[in-house]
Chain A
Amino acid sequence: MTKKNKSIGATIVGLFRHQLFIPLAALLILVVFNLIADPSFFKVSLGQNNAGDPVLSGYLVTIFNNASELAILAIGMTLVTAASGGQDISVGATIAIAGSVMLRVLCGSAGSRPETMQAPIIVAFLIACVVTMLFGAFNGALVAYFKIQPMVATLIMFTAGRSIAAWINNNELPIISDAEFSYFGNYIPGIPVPTPVFIAVACMIVIALVLKFTNLGLYVQSVGINSESSRLNGLNPEFIKFMTYVIMGLCVAVAGLIKVSRISTINYSVIAKDIEMDAILAVALGGNALSGGKFNMAASIMGAYVIQFLTTTLYKFEVASDALPAYKAIVVIILVVMSAPVVRENMGRLWKKIAPKKAVKGVQ
């Protein structure tokens, strides 16, 4: 009897300590809250958009659609955080650069409002990839080879990024009128699910395969836990840190494509504003230590969806978009306090005290 009790207690304590506990619990709380407040939140209906194509609509679709960029960035941010023990705060600014480069290539020499695209989208995307990876390499070089703390090193691009983006297009706001370009951020005709969802899922599959079949995950974690001992074991910690920033650059380019494609134009000072904070938050909500080391990719991605779920829920209850951060902050604090090791230990201890009493009651 007592043995069984202990094992139940231990499983529950273990559950509290499991990394997926916090994002899952947060998701569950949000789901239950929405179910009670208004079950129509979960209604998904098949409608038609302006062009007459079938599209799915509903809050759930919005969440999966809008969380795509964040989930993609969370992948890169998790790797960066794990390897270098710091965060890349320049992602919002480099998304602006990626978008700006893409539009510049698509406009070519035809001014800022071309009738047709001057280059294939794939070329524009690949050029943007190269550019953002170069910026990622710049950040990575500062962090890995010059040993500058990541947040400080990326502060440079954070400061300059949006200005560089404006400079690339000479501060004009190019508009791409070709419908084909908007497929990536909206719907492909005939497919009712928004394209960003597919792109995000594709990114997740790629990173899952990479983590499964290569040593990237292992190397990143070992560098993050102890860079000196991984060097002694024959790894090249500098290069691995450097690589994570280049991968981050790739994630930024993909997220930038979605962002720009959504509106077919760009606003340098507003695009992807504060997304770096949300991306870091996603990593932290996933229970990953921001000081580096072990990471759980699934938890980070889950964190990204939790954030978007929260945002959409708040919007649904007609919270003004300016006041949104205040409510978000309260939820974040509650989640973070719940996941703090000190609090979790106390919760575990509390449970151990309560559990036997319950069992006794059950016997009587």
Chain B
Amino acid sequence: MAKNAKDLKRRVGISDTNLLLIITIAVFLVMYISAVVFLGSGFTKPQTFFNILNDNAALIILSCGMSIVMITGGIDISVGTVTALVCMSCAVHLDHNGGSVLTAMLLALGIGVAFGLVQGYLIAYLDIQPFIVTLAGMFFAKGMTTIVNSTQFNVAHEGFKALKAIRIYVPFMGAVNKKGIYVPAYIEPGVIVALLVVIVLFVLLKWSKVGRNFYAVGGNVNSANMLGINVKRTKFIAHMLCSVLAGIGGFVYFMHVGSGSASHASGAEMNAIASSIIGGTMLSGGVGNIVGTFFGVLSLSTIKNIVSSLGLDEAWWTNITVAAMICVFLVVQSVVLLRKNKKK
């Protein structure tokens, strides 16, 4: 009897987190492979894949922060406009105030920390709904961006330009172009930062005490409290991490575009939420995975690439397909989880 129970446990043992992760990775692979098979040319080149990484390095970082907040059961909709604020502040700092690249980096971090401190304190210690607090944060960052500087401009700072131009070549992945010249594949430094963030956060969530606390708090606040977890501090750390990552992501975005503008990264918070959801993080908290989020970002941008290479150039098709994809993912997730819960 006891043996039976054990067997049962092992068979049911695949957790929600892992199940959703497997679905995500499978869908991404199927999508990419079918793109390679049916659309050919563009997608067979490794550089296409690396470009997806290059373009979305910042989004990966933002989404990772978003996932952590979502795992603890919160939400942060300020990350997109914080990114814009970081871009604009760094651009003004470099070009108008004669700052150096290093101080610009510190400035980006500082903005992230400031947002994290205020939002984290209000959410965790004053117990205000995260949506409202970060909504205010979003408004504030949006307004501040135009107060700092209201027009878009490209950064002319020499040191920054050198940093922006850095390319890291990936060995053995190049392709021969039409003229017969070998073009090596490359990634931007932002991608390295993004991958580092993914690895560090994966380890943090999987094996550290703080990381496990995130899941406990998101799963059930009351039982986490009874287990002796400091719920308030855990929530504070989650929101702090998310805002700091928004600061880092902001600088990575800045390195990618090299300009300051109030319209930068508009809607990035919704893309980050969408990526987290596609990656199997649930907004209700307690379920999620950083690797899934990473693949969520990749899936989201792959579908965009597929749509544009299908020749559906009208701007609306991208949004409609992305929405349809989110819809499919949500329904699949919900059906799977509902069936699983019924079996229990």
Report the bound CA distance from A153 to B233 in whole Å: 30
Please state if A325 and B270 are interface contacts (CB–CB under 8 Å).
Answer: no
Please state if A162 and B131 are interface contacts (CB–CB under 8 Å).
Answer: no
Given contacts A160-B319, A320-B150, A324-B143, A149 and B122 within 8 Å (CB-CB): no
Please state if A157 and B323 are interface contacts (CB–CB under 8 Å).
Answer: yes
Please state if A336 and B132 are interface contacts (CB–CB under 8 Å).
Answer: yes
Report the bound CA distance from A327 to B147 in whole Å: 11
A residues within 8 A CB of B273? 151-152, 155
A residues within 8 A CB of B146? 320, 322-323
Please state if B284 and A323 are interface contacts (CB–CB under 8 Å).
Answer: no
6 other A-B residue contacts (CB within 8 Å) besides A159-B319, A340-B127: A142-B330, A277-B135, A281-B132, A290-B131, A325-B138, A340-B126
Q: Is there a chain B Cβ closer than 8 Å to A341's Cβ? A: yes
Given contacts A166-B316, A342-B126, A87 and B131 within 8 Å (CB-CB): yes
Q: Is there a chain B Cβ closer than 8 Å to A171's Cβ? A: yes
Please state if B139 and A151 are interface contacts (CB–CB under 8 Å).
Answer: no
A residues within 8 A CB of B117? none
Q: How large is the interface on B (under 10, 10 to 19, 20 to 34, 35 or more residues)?
A: 35 or more
Q: B4 to nearest A CB, angstroms?
A: 31
Report the bound CA distance from A326 to B282 in whole Å: 30
Please state if A163 and B315 are interface contacts (CB–CB under 8 Å).
Answer: yes
Q: A292 to nearest B CB, angstroms?
A: 11
Chain B 136-152 interface 0/1 with A at a Cβ cutoff of 8 Å (1 = within):
11111011101100100
Report the bound CA distance from A18 to B317 in whole Å: 48
Q: Is there a chain B Cβ closer than 8 Å to A216's Cβ? A: no
Residues of A within 8 A of B (CB): 87, 142, 146-149, 151-153, 155-160, 162-164, 166-167, 171, 277, 280-281, 284, 289-291, 320, 322-330, 332-333, 336-337, 340-343
Q: Which of B275-304 contact A (CB under 8 A)?
A: 277, 282-284
B residues within 8 A CB of A157? 323
Q: Which one of A289, A320, A324, A340 has the greatest number of beta carbons of chain B within 10 Å? A: A340
Closest to B276 in A: A152
**Contacting B126 at CB < 8 Å: which of A159, A166, A322, A343?**
A343
Interface of A is mostly: helix
B residues within 8 A CB of A325? 138-140, 142-143
Please state if A163 and B128 are interface contacts (CB–CB under 8 Å).
Answer: no
Chain B 253-289 interface 0/1 with A at a Cβ cutoff of 8 Å (1 = within):
0000000001000000010011001000011100000
A residues within 8 A CB of B162? none
Q: Which one of B132, B133, B262, B338 has the greatest number of beta carbons of chain A within 10 Å? A: B132
A residues within 8 A CB of B334? 146-148
Q: Is there a chain A Cβ closer than 8 Å to B327's Cβ? A: yes
**Contacting B140 at CB < 8 Å: which of A151, A320, A330?**
A330
Q: Is there a chain A Cβ closer than 8 Å to B191's Cβ? A: no
A residues within 8 A CB of B220? none
Q: Is there a chain A Cβ closer than 8 Å to B248's Cβ? A: no
Report the bound CA distance from A328 to B334 in whole Å: 37
Closest to A291 in B: B129
Report the bound CA distance from A322 to B315 in whole Å: 26
**Contacting A342 at CB < 8 Å: which of B127, B132, B135?**
B127
**Contacting A322 at CB < 8 Å: which of B133, B138, B143, B317?**
B143
**Contacting A340 at CB < 8 Å: which of B128, B282, B314?**
B128
A residues within 8 A CB of B338? 146-147
Please state if B135 and A280 are interface contacts (CB–CB under 8 Å).
Answer: yes
Report the bound CA distance from A290 to B130 in whole Å: 10
Q: Which of B295-344 contact A (CB under 8 A)?
A: 314-320, 322-324, 326-327, 330-331, 334-335, 338
Q: B125 to nearest A CB, angstroms?
A: 8
Q: Which one of A160, A166, A277 has the greatest number of beta carbons of chain B within 10 Å? A: A160
Please state if A159 and B330 are interface contacts (CB–CB under 8 Å).
Answer: no
